């Protein structure tokens, strides 16, 4: 049975609940982040080892291959992002979540989620062109746009606008969440990617050794991403719910309707697991 805890959270509590939820549902979150990436990992390995078998010298074949690789990468990214955020939402609401059902639900919103990612990327890119600091600020203000799109079922423009409204006055907290992600990413990159990159550089004159280590790097990078991605997305989702607790009086909504039966899906409260 889940426990309702609607009080505002400190940054430490946001991170503590992130790791708590990650540990409790480790297999679910790693599967949601890793399974969608399998096609792009396999295609990357094919690119390394089977260029002649798939006639990569043919321009048409190369175009088709790279289009498939691009589509697989985009689809995997969207499924991992949307699936993890949706799973966090379901668990917060005291509902069961499984990999197959969660990914099927995300597929229905793929194009909308793609629009959110593209539009937010353009906004951050445009702000970054002006100066680095405005780009970081816009990224912080848009941190909640993916949870908004997935949980509240809003379109790209509405998701960005909603994220800006929710994060108003809390860009600093969003920045800490982003900084936390980059710290973990740099740590994993240093442990996994850098050593193999050095080995590849030392064997640059031996193509077979280079391909072997490049394959190991591809697989380990996919594993590292599957382990890392859920952490930042769980933290982002908890941050999103915390903003709604602070700004939308969810505690009053739950007191009026503890089961959430009369609250629209977009207005449902978060239910936090016992720690």
pLDDT in tens, 170-181: 999 999 988 888
Q: Which residues of 24-58 are buried (b: 16+ CB within 10 A; e: fewer)?
A: ebeebbbbbbbbbbebbbebbbbbeeeeeeeeeee
Tell whether 199 is covered by a domain: yes
* Count of CB atoms situated within 10 Å of the CB of 63: 10
Tell whether 17 is covered by a domain: yes
Q: What is the sign of the dihedral through the CA atoms of 52, 58, 59 and 61?
A: negative
Percent of the chain with pLDDT over 70: 84
What band does 130 get if pLDDT is binned at 50, 70 and 90? confident
Tell whether 151 is covered by a domain: no
The boundaries of the domain holding residue 46 are 11-109+170-267
**Helix count and strand count (H, E) for the chain:** 12, 0
pLDDT at site 85 = 92
Token pair in block for residue 148? 């908004």
Phi/psi region, residue 250 (left: phi>0; alpha: psi -120 to 50; beta: rest), is alpha
Q: Is the pLDDT of residue 221 over 70?
A: yes
pLDDT at site 51 = 58
Tell whether 114 is covered by a domain: no
pLDDT at site 270 = 38
Q: Is the pLDDT of residue 273 over 60?
A: no
Percent of the chain with pLDDT over 90: 33
Tell whether 139 is covered by a domain: no
Tell whether 43 is covered by a domain: yes
Tell whether 148 is covered by a domain: no
Query: What is the C-alpha to C-alpha distance for residues 250 and 6, in angstroms, rounded to an integer?
Result: 7
Query: What is the C-alpha to C-alpha distance for residues 164 and 143, in angstroms, rounded to an integer?
Result: 9
Selection from 193, 176, 196 nearest residue 185 by Cα? 193
Query: What is the C-alpha to C-alpha distance for residues 265 and 151, in angstroms, rounded to an integer?
Result: 8
Q: Is the pLDDT of residue 265 over 90?
A: no
The residue-averaged pLDDT of 31-44 equals 91
The residue-averaged pLDDT of 231-254 equals 80
Selection from 188, 120, 130, 208 nearest residue 157 by Cα? 120
Total count of domains within the chain: 1
Tell whether 158 is covered by a domain: no
């Amino acid at each position: 049975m889940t426990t309702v805890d609607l009080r505002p959270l400190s940054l430490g509590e946001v991170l503590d609940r992130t790791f708590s939820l990650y540990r409790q549902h480790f297999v679910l979150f790693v599967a949601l982040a890793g399974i969608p990436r399998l096609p792009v990992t396999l295609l990357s390995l094919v690119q390394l080892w089977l260029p002649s078998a798939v006639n990569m010298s043919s321009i048409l074949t190369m175009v088709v291959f790279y289009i498939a690789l691009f589509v697989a990468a985009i689809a995997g990214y969207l499924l991992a992002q949307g699936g993890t955020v949706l799973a966090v939402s379901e668990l917060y609401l005291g509902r069961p979540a499984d990999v197959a059902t969660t990914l099927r639900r995300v597929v229905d919103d793929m194009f909308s989620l793609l629009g959110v990612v593209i539009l937010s990327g353009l906004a951050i890119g445009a702000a970054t062109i002006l100066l680095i600091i405005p780009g970081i600020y816009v990224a912080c203000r848009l941190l909640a746009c993916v949870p908004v799109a997935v949980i509240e079922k809003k379109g790209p423009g509405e998701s960005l606008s909603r994220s800006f409204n929710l994060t108003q006055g809390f860009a600093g907290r969003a920045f800490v969440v982003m900084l936390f992600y980059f710290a973990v990413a740099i740590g994993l990159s240093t442990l996994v990617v850098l050593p193999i990159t050095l080995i590849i550089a030392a064997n640059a004159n031996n193509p077979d050794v280079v391909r072997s280590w490049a394959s190991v790097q591809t697989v380990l990078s996919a594993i590292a991403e599957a382990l890392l991605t859920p952490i930042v997305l769980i933290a982002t989702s908890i941050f999103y719910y915390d903003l709604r607790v602070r700004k939308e009086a969810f505690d009053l909504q739950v007191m009026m309707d503890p089961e959430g039966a009369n609250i629209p899906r977009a207005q449902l409260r978060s239910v936090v697991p016992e720690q």
